[in-house]
Amino acid sequence: MSNRALITGITGQDGSYLSEILLDKGYEVAGIVRRSSNGKNLSRIDHILDKIKLYDGDLLDSSSIEAAINDFKPSEFYNIAAQSFVPLSWSNPIMTTEITGTGVLRCLEAIRKLSPETRFYQSSSSEQFGKVRETPQTEKTPFYPRSPYGVAKAYGHYITVNYRESYGLHASSGICFNHGSSRRGIEFVERKITDGVARIALKKQDVIRLGNLDAKRDWGHSKDFCEAMWLMLQQDTPDDYVIATGETHTVKDLVKIAFDYVGLKWENHVVIDPKFFRPAEVDLLIGDSTKAREKLGWSPRVSFREMVEEMVASDLKALSLNVN
């Protein structure tokens, strides 16, 4: 019998890459998709729709999660879904908490009741570190989240630990630092930049309006991070792992690489707009993934520059074809 993986957030960046990785490994793959999804929401998995199974469901609805588990009987469950756009979490804190925080509990409780042998992966976030207590950040660094999103993710992380310790579930969390790709949502800063650069290069717009260019992040490629997620659930003992490159770059670094790729000077096209600054900024995130490298045998393959250039090239192609 093949392994069976059920994925929340399957229509997103990470969900789509993870699905491809698991299919290549011979898994049967299914995803839980919100009922409001339409063709556009499925664009990242359109090429594999004939190979996967989709269930109507929502992290706000326990019964839909339970129904999917009962029917599909997964050996592995990957919870990647979230309201993950940090700025939106200030204007919609309750929704963010219900999806990103309490939604994790609904998944864990469904597994506890119906399928306790199912291995569970929770996507935690470097935003949990927030106002960092030490640099670089490890699995032992205390959390100090600086947004409703970060607070909700911290709850999701700790409730995963609690269910592992209380009920003996094989439940692991990957504390994922920033990761992008050509499938990154347009609302996120790295994709906002690469899409904007492509539009400027093609003379579709003149400027990009951005916030804090000095914010420092540890950026990797989504596909590399999804490989780490799978590796966690292959271990005999569940645990938590920082998934990061160990390199830090400013938003300005990303801007420079993107504009260099199309042969333009960034200073001529970037406008600093105060409305894009966060109410409480996270200034520096850099992860120490020694534990993942040593215990999982994991390491990132795609460099920061390669990630940015891939994204710009993809956006140039899409815009040239009038895809968006």
At residue 119, what are phi and psi to the nearest 5 degrees?
Answer: -85, 135
Q: Can you give the pLDDT at residue 282?
A: 62
Q: Where are the domains of the chain?
A: 4-179+219-243, 182-217+247-283+302-320
Helices (H), the chain: 13-24, 62-72, 86-91, 93-96, 103-114, 148-167, 189-201, 222-232, 251-261, 290-291, 304-320
DSSP 266: G
Single out the catalytic residue among 78, 121, 149, 155. Answer: 149
**Residue 179 neighbours by CB distance under 10 Å:** 27
CATH assignment of 182-217+247-283+302-320, among 3.40.50.300, 3.60.130.10, 3.60.10.10, 3.90.25.10: 3.90.25.10
Name residues whose C-beta falls within 8 Å of residue 89's C-beta, 6 or more positions apart in sequence. Answer: 83, 96, 100, 147, 148, 149, 150, 152
Same fold, 4-179+219-243 and 182-217+247-283+302-320: no
- Is residue 125 part of the annotated active site? The answer reads yes
State pLDDT tens for residues 259-284.
999 999 999 999 998 877 766 556 67
CB 255 within 8 A of CB 193: yes
Q: Catalytic pick from 75, 125, 126, 289?
A: 125
Q: Reduced to 3 states, what is the DSSP secondary structure of residue 76?
A: strand
149: annotated active-site residue = yes
From the CA atom positions of the chain, what is the Rg in Å? 19
pLDDT of amino acid 324: 47
| DSSP code for 284 | B
What are the pLDDT digits (tens) for 116-160? 999 999 999 999 999 999 999 999 999 999 999 999 999 999 999
Overall CATH class of domain 4-179+219-243:
alpha beta
Q: Is 75 assigned a catalytic role?
A: no
Residue 215: its pLDDT value, please?
A: 87
User: Which stretches in the chain have pLDDT values below 70?
Assistant: 1, 36-40, 84-85, 278-283, 322-324
- Written as six digits, the tokens of 182 are 């050509």
pLDDT at site 13: 96
Q: Which long-range contacts (CB under 8 A, 24 or more apart) does 38-47 make?
A: 41/11, 42/11, 44/11, 44/12, 44/13, 44/15, 44/16, 44/183, 45/10, 45/11, 45/15, 45/16, 45/19
Q: How far apart are CA 292 and CA 279, in angstroms?
A: 33
| Catalytically annotated residue among 28, 66, 127, 227 | 127
What span, in angstroms and rounded, lies between the C-alpha atoms of 127 and 155? Answer: 12
